[in-house]
């Protein structure tokens, strides 16, 4: 066996071991959404490690069929993991759709007519790149409002690099689909996989508990010094009496300036003392409480949901509907209908 072949197998074996370590670290989180996303991510990544090499694919025989199927949605499951970890999104049919779309398109390319295979696979890889680009956007866009310091530190050095890797990988695969395959692709791919998986194993095996679960609100103010108490008092004043939460586009930086506190300290207090993992959730909690009151008020029954959303600081109806449903499990319209029916005002 040639040395390059041996090295490729060693690198792929290392990647599989690192993925098992990542899965163990994510399972330790205890958060159902992260567990599900982590299992789908690591299983699809392991399937890709095995399926992307002719050496391992041939050795698997018939068992390569389910492995190939699992690998098809890999970039979609990676996107799912990003939004569950960094945006605290729940697992839902909508978030599962990314992996489902990629799997469906891959099946068409795999089982379809030969003359259509190449265009379908190119489309599959472009969709992969699209999800990866959006994942990179999620990492960057929600960075400022992230209140969990351990998660803020993780964004750039690990998952940002992995996202860029997925984009580059899609480029290689598109090149192969167009007939530009090179003999060094397999060993380069195995090296990149081993590096990325090893990096992930280090990050998630050593992850601090607050990365996944967040801090719980403190039961007392005993651990707060006078300065922290003053900041929290000013914060409550701005949010309650000043209704700062009604302002569209409110940022933690702007709120820190108004409260007169360093941004990093305000971020820590909202996370550690009030129990919020991101700034949007902190602001939306006030907005959703206010929305419930207005939606349940019979005197405002004729007011449209969109008007209420705009009045409460949401820039459009979509984000309001999503935020409301995440909290209540219902759309604003469904919630209003039930509340009004309870009071005899259908």
Return the closest-CA partner of residue 135 out of 84, 72, 90, 201: 84
pTM above 0.85, yes or no: no
Q: Note whether 77 and 37 are within 8 A (CB).
A: yes
Q: For residue 238, what pLDDT is reported?
A: 92
For 232, residues 6+ apart whose C-beta sits below 8 A from its C-beta are: 224, 269, 273
Q: For residue 345, what pLDDT is reported?
A: 66
How long, in residues, is the chain? 346
Q: For residue 102, what pLDDT is reported?
A: 95
Q: For residue 215, what pLDDT is reported?
A: 46
Separation between Cα atoms, residue 186 and residue 176, nearest integer Å:
12
Task: Tell me phi and psi for residue 31, to 5 degrees.
Answer: -95, 120
Is 58 buried (19+), middle (13-18) or exposed (0-12) by CB count in 10 A? exposed
Per-residue pLDDT tens for 164-183?
Answer: 777 677 666 666 667 776 67
Q: Note whether 80 and 41 are within 8 A (CB).
A: yes
- Taking phi over 0 as left and psi of -120 to 50 as alpha, with beta for the rest, 137 belongs to alpha
- Taking phi over 0 as left and psi of -120 to 50 as alpha, with beta for the rest, 214 belongs to left
Q: For residue 189, what pLDDT is reported?
A: 80
Q: For residue 221, what pLDDT is reported?
A: 57
Q: For residue 296, what pLDDT is reported?
A: 92
- Report the SS3 class of residue 57: helix
Is 180 buried (19+), middle (13-18) or exposed (0-12) by CB count in 10 A? exposed
Q: For residue 112, what pLDDT is reported?
A: 76
The residues of the chain scoring below 50 in pLDDT are 215, 219
Longest CA–CA separation in the chain, Å: 80
Return the closest-CA partner of residue 266 out of 146, 150, 135: 146
Q: Note whether 75 and 170 are within 8 A (CB).
A: yes
Q: For residue 332, what pLDDT is reported?
A: 94
Q: For residue 177, what pLDDT is reported?
A: 64
């Amino acid at each position: 066996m040639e040395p390059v072949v041996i090295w490729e197998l060693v690198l792929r074996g290392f990647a599989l071991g690192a993925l098992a370590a990542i899965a163990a670290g994510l399972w330790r989180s205890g958060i159902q959404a992260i567990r599900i996303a982590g299992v789908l991510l690591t299983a699809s990544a392991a399937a890709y490690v095995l399926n992307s090499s002719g050496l391992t694919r041939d050795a698997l025989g018939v068992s390569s069929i389910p492995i190939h199927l699992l690998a098809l949605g890999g970039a979609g499951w990676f996107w799912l993991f990003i939004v569950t970890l960094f945006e605290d999104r729940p697992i839902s049919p909508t978030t599962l759709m990314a992996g489902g779309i990629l799997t469906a398109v891959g099946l068409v390319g795999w089982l379809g007519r030969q003359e259509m295979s190449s265009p379908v696979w190119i489309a599959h890889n472009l969709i992969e790149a699209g999800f990866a680009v959006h994942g990179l956007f999620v990492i960057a866009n929600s960075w400022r409002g992230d209140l969990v310091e351990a998660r803020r530190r993780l964004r750039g050095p690990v998952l940002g690099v992995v996202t860029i890797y997925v984009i580059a990988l899609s480029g290689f695969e598109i090149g192969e689909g167009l007939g530009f395959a090179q003999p060094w692709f397999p060993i380069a791919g195995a090296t990149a996989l081993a590096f990325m998986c090893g990096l992930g194993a280090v990050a998630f095996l050593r992850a601090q508990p607050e990365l996944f679960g967040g801090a719980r609100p403190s039961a007392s103010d005993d651990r707060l010094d006078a300065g922290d108490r003053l900041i929290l008092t000013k914060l409550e004043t701005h949010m309650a009496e000043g209704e700062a939460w009604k302002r569209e586009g409110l940022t933690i930086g702007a709120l820190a300036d108004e409260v007169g506190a360093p941004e990093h300290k305000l971020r820590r207090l909202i996370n550690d003392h009030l129990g919020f993992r991101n700034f949007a959730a902190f602001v939306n909690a006030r907005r959703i409480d206010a929305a419930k009151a207005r939606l349940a008020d019979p005197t405002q029954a004729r007011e449209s949901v969109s008007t209420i959303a705009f009045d409460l600081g949401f820039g459009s109806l979509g984000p309001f509907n999503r935020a409301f449903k995440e909290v209540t499990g219902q759309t604003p319209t469904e919630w209003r209908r039930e509340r009004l029916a309870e009071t005899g005002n259908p």
